[in-house]
Structure 1
Amino acid sequence: MKIVIIGASHGGIAAAMSLCKLTSKNEVYLIDKKPLHALGYISSGVNLHFQNIIQELTEVTTDVQPLIDLGVNILTERQVMDIDPKNHKLFLEYEDQEEIFSYDKLILAMGSSPTAVNTIIDAENVFTYKGLEESQYVLDSLEKAQQIVIFGAGYIGLELANVLAATGREIHLIDNMPMILSRYFDSDMIEEVQDSLNVQGIHFYPNEFLIDYQAVDNKVNKVCLLSKTIEADTVIFPSQAQPNTGFLRDKVALNEDDTVIVNDYLQTSEQDIYAIGDIVPITYSKTAHVFMPLVTRAVHMARAAALSLIGHAIPFDRENKVSATKIMDYFLGSVGVTEEEAPFLDMDVSSIQTEVCLTPTYIAQQKIAKVKLIYQKDTMEIIGAQLVSKEHLLQDLNLLSALIQHKTTILDLAVENFCFVPQYTPLFHYLNELAFQVLQQTSD
């Protein structure tokens, strides 16, 4: 069977590698418009550079040799112009020539691209970035800049602001929402972190919009917001993105935002075409979905699609989303639905939020976390959770993701059998205690 994957970012690479590791019976082709040296670039490379974790951005691209050793056929600098699902053909552009390429099964993994910033501000020192080449331009500008304006307080914008502020630069972070990370955290969970930004040297402007700008010699030197004007050496729009699905219109079923409609097994409206990664939205129902690019989700979708293609069909949970970051001294983790977004998804939810002690009371140095569980009112199924702590709680976040994926209820969680080790843990895990508190409240 000839399996072709369009897109050699994280999802496409994971799909190709998974397919070849599972069986050697198939021909696997990976097609991408980027050059070989730029494949699989981690878009937070700029942040890693300013943290002195890497010196060159090329350090966080993918080494393609393991893929080649596994038998993946990599075709780079080829732009897919069109597809013919009926005849299982792709139409590629390569060196100004058209190529026709056939397939038996097709995986769409084109990811997303930043929206062109020249539609917002057309100037030399205004950037958006995701790939290696754009990131290098951004890095060159940031190295010389002292006053940096960042539009968007999602993960990308906040993480960039955090690492740049640590280098002594003056950072202005602007968002049209009242809180940072508003797509991932409720206000009551993130307020403490937001209040700490100014101490770090990050000026945060909530509920603000760009209304104008001033430029000299095609370089922005001031941006004008609703309430004030800010001087700028470099302006970044890190969070504007759109799915790369233009050539799919009228070929497979798309949502109104050009994301791809798939079933539980990641098949599109065409049986032999699968879709993974950013182009597949978080999907709650036939009428409720959210476009939210997440690398974690892309690579796990890739593995699920690979298993289905070789005969181990497994459904993928398209509702669940899990993400985390470290800002200043805080670990921030979020999974599933937030309480504030639930009404927009026609979900009737309740929640419990409290500060918990992660260690036994007899341990001198206490470890604390703020924890929130969101659950359906009628079934008490847990559908969301958030963690904020100065402790590293990634494994707890992964545990919560698994509990949500397996549709665990508050009643289940109250008696979940977590391990007790007296040197490290209280008698009951804090998640047991949170669930039990809910049951106490509902029993009154």
Structure 2
Amino acid sequence: MTTHTDQSVVIIGAGHGGAGLAALLRQSGFTGPITMIGDEQHLPYHRPPLSKKFDGPSVQQLLRPAEFYAENQIEIRTRSRATAIRPDDKIVVLADGTEIGYDTLVLATGSHPRALPGTPEGTTSVMTLRTLDDAATLNRSLTRGGELAIVGGGYVGMEVAAVARSRDMHVTVIERENRILARVASAELSTMLTDYHRERGTTILTNRSVSDLRTDGAEVTGVVLDDGTVVDCGTVLVGIGAAPDEELPRSAGLEYDDGVITDEYGRTSDPHIFAIGDVARRPVAGHHGLRRLESIPAATEHARHAVTAILGHEPEDHEVPWFWSDQFDLKLKIAGLTTPDVTVVTRPTPGKNAVSFFHIQPGSNVVAVEAINAPSDFNAGKKLIRSGAPVDLDALADPSVKLRDLVGRSESN
């Protein structure tokens, strides 16, 4: 075990991955100096409430009490931005010129929202949602009144739409694909969510893109679509995806291709530098090639595996990737990775608006499950994914057949 007090770990990024890694190092017996660098003014906080609530006092939820860091001798530098890495000298350079040495460096810098092309400079009511300050800005803009236009029908956009509709605001979602969540969900789930939102007053426009914005000074007054339609609004939330932070990894000469290339434990092309979370592109068990997993569970799990590698511990089993989303009274839990050319088996589940969609690859093995208000289906789906064994599709679709029986059969094969 690496416990030498003369070995230092520096973590760039104070989100779920970076803060989790620092805590795990201490819990695992590491006694050397730990420094965490975050460019926000806030201590590490939970990010899900930003899109699931974004207003009210419950939005700011610290990951750990403020005193945790001092009590565990973790130096945390808020309002600090790393601008360069000098790997030959093992030094991180901050924007104010401060230089911090390291023995092991961990990049947990996440990703940044993509901006809407053509947004006039100085426009104050066109925004993205990634930070606590972004959530406060969005809430202030909506409080001033006016309709909300959301560009991009991904999970963040649909979560914000649900919250805004619950506040009786008029919401229009503009999606350039032929359905919402086209990149990350089955057509079955997309259809269900589209219907659910429309029944509650959300306007959803698909196969539409933004060609221009109408403004009055710094304020937006409307979104002009590619067919000439104008969507009147007072706030525009842009949710068209996120890009991994690139400047720092490239300054260190790390192998990079839509993310820092790492192994499954976060090791980069430099033996003294790890990368975890959204910024890392890595192997995922059961899938070919490298992938970036943009979720909090993925970031915290990647942090756990990086800690075992840093400390020289025995590798642990990897968790099935998973994600969750809350929209109105729907609680979605998704396990596995959705891929093209799968068969989707729909399984009705007792309960209000409860259903699950199981993704089946050729060979009849489950590769993903989308469970809506069905936590037991989600848990069973994770086990079926991990086993990789074929399942009886007719039995899977039959709610009278207990999933635990299917799991038992798959685990015994």
Fold equivalence (TM over 0.5): yes
Question: What's the CA shift string for 1:178-214, capped at 9, x where partnerless?
Answer: 2222233211233122122222110000111001122
Question: What's the CA shift string for 1:409-444, capped at 9, x where partnerless?
Answer: 12599999xxxxxxxxx88423645999xxxxxxxx
Contact preservation (8 Å) 1:152, 1:239: yes
Offset, 1:385 = 1.8
Offset, 1:219 = 1.6
Counterpart amino acid of residue 273 in structure 2: I
Offset, 1:55 = 1.9
Counterpart in the other structure of 1:442: none
Matching of residues 271-350 of structure 1 within 5 Å: 271-281=271-281, 283=283, 288-314=289-315, 317=318, 320-338=320-338, 341-342=339-340, 350=342
> Measured at CA, do residues 411 and 249 of structure 1 come closer, stay the same or move farther in structure 2, by a change above 3 Å?
same
Between stretches 269-278 and 176-185, larger displacement belongs to 176-185
Query: Which residue of 94, 98, 101 maps to 1:92?
Result: 94
> Measured at CA, do residues 291 and 79 of structure 1 come closer, stay the same or move farther in structure 2, by a change above 3 Å?
same
- 2-side partners of 1:356 and 1:296: how far apart? 26
> Which SS does the other structure have where 2:261 is aligned?
coil
Counterpart in the other structure of 2:3: none
Q: TM-score, normalised by structure 1?
A: 0.80
> Measured at CA, do residues 435 and 192 of structure 1 come closer, stay the same or move farther in structure 2, by a change above 3 Å?
farther
Offset, 1:82 = 1.4
- 1-side partners of 2:374 and 2:288: how far apart? 36
Offset, 1:56 = 6.1
> Measured at CA, do residues 38 and 66 of structure 1 come closer, stay the same or move farther in structure 2, by a change above 3 Å?
closer
> Measured at CA, do residues 47 and 377 of structure 1 come closer, stay the same or move farther in structure 2, by a change above 3 Å?
closer
> Measured at CA, do residues 46 and 156 of structure 1 come closer, stay the same or move farther in structure 2, by a change above 3 Å?
closer
- 1-side partners of 2:407 and 2:182: how far apart? 24
> Measured at CA, do residues 117 and 61 of structure 1 come closer, stay the same or move farther in structure 2, by a change above 3 Å?
farther
Contact preservation (8 Å) 2:51, 2:156: no
- 2-side partners of 1:203 and 1:367: how far apart? 24
Q: TM-score, normalised by structure 2?
A: 0.85
Counterpart in the other structure of 1:422: none
Task: Could you tell me which runs of 5 or more consecutive residues in structure 1 were left unpaired when the two chains were aligned.
Answer: 344-349, 359-365, 417-425, 437-444
Offset, 1:14 = 0.3
Offset, 1:119 = 4.6
- 2-side partners of 1:427 and 1:223: how far apart? 49
Counterpart amino acid of residue 299 in structure 1: T
Contact preservation (8 Å) 2:13, 2:37: yes
Offset, 1:216 = 1.4
> Which SS does the other structure have where 1:242 is aligned?
strand
Matching of residues 76-87 of structure 1 within 5 Å: 76-87=78-89
Counterpart amino acid of residue 376 in structure 1: Q
Between stretches 198-207 and 138-147, larger displacement belongs to 138-147
- 1-side partners of 2:276 and 2:226: how far apart? 39
Q: Give the length in aligned residue pairs.
A: 399
> Which SS does the other structure have where 1:324 is aligned?
strand
Counterpart in the other structure of 1:429: 402
State whether structure 2 residue 378 is matched by structure 1 residue 397: yes
- 2-side partners of 1:92 and 1:188: how far apart? 47
Contact preservation (8 Å) 1:38, 1:58: no
Query: Which residue of 26, 32, 45 maps to 1:40?
Result: 45
Counterpart in the other structure of 2:68: 66
Counterpart amino acid of residue 101 in structure 1: I
Query: Which residue of 352, 368, 371 maps to 1:384?
Result: 368
Query: Which residue of 350, 359, 382 maps to 1:374?
Result: 359
- 2-side partners of 1:65 and 1:413: how far apart? 52
> Which SS does the other structure have where 2:231 is aligned?
strand
> Measured at CA, do residues 14 and 399 of structure 1 come closer, stay the same or move farther in structure 2, by a change above 3 Å?
farther
- 2-side partners of 1:68 and 1:414: how far apart? 56
> Which SS does the other structure have where 1:138 is aligned?
helix
> Measured at CA, do residues 80 and 48 of structure 1 come closer, stay the same or move farther in structure 2, by a change above 3 Å?
same
Contact preservation (8 Å) 2:344, 2:358: yes
Query: Which residue of 7, 12, 17 maps to 2:13?
Result: 7
- 2-side partners of 1:231 and 1:262: how far apart? 45
Identity %: 22
Counterpart amino acid of residue 370 in structure 1: V
- 2-side partners of 1:119 and 1:14: how far apart? 37
Contact preservation (8 Å) 1:264, 1:315: no
Counterpart amino acid of residue 19 in structure 1: L
> Which SS does the other structure have where 1:207 is aligned?
coil
- 1-side partners of 2:203 and 2:395: how far apart? 44
Counterpart in the other structure of 2:4: none
Offset, 1:100 = 2.1
Counterpart in the other structure of 2:111: 112
Contact preservation (8 Å) 1:334, 1:387: yes
Counterpart amino acid of residue 359 in structure 2: I
State whether structure 2 residue 348 is matched by structure 1 residue 356: yes
> Measured at CA, do residues 313 and 92 of structure 1 come closer, stay the same or move farther in structure 2, by a change above 3 Å?
farther
> Which SS does the other structure have where 1:249 is aligned?
helix
Question: What's the CA shift string for 1:233-271, capped at 9, x where partnerless?
Answer: 1111134422123121163444432x0100122100111
Q: For the aligned residues, what is the CA RMSD?
A: 3.2
Question: What's the CA shift string for 1:376-433, capped at 9, x where partnerless?
Answer: 325x443222223xx342x5424433542x34312599999xxxxxxxxx88423645
Contact preservation (8 Å) 1:281, 1:289: yes
> Measured at CA, do residues 57 and 44 of structure 1 come closer, stay the same or move farther in structure 2, by a change above 3 Å?
closer
Counterpart in the other structure of 2:151: 151
> Measured at CA, do residues 119 and 29 of structure 1 come closer, stay the same or move farther in structure 2, by a change above 3 Å?
farther
Counterpart amino acid of residue 371 in structure 2: L
Counterpart in the other structure of 1:420: none
> Measured at CA, do residues 159 and 85 of structure 1 come closer, stay the same or move farther in structure 2, by a change above 3 Å?
same
Counterpart in the other structure of 2:388: 408
Contact preservation (8 Å) 2:358, 2:370: yes
- 2-side partners of 1:79 and 1:400: how far apart? 41
> Which SS does the other structure have where 1:342 is aligned?
coil
- 1-side partners of 2:91 and 2:174: how far apart? 45
Counterpart in the other structure of 1:136: 136
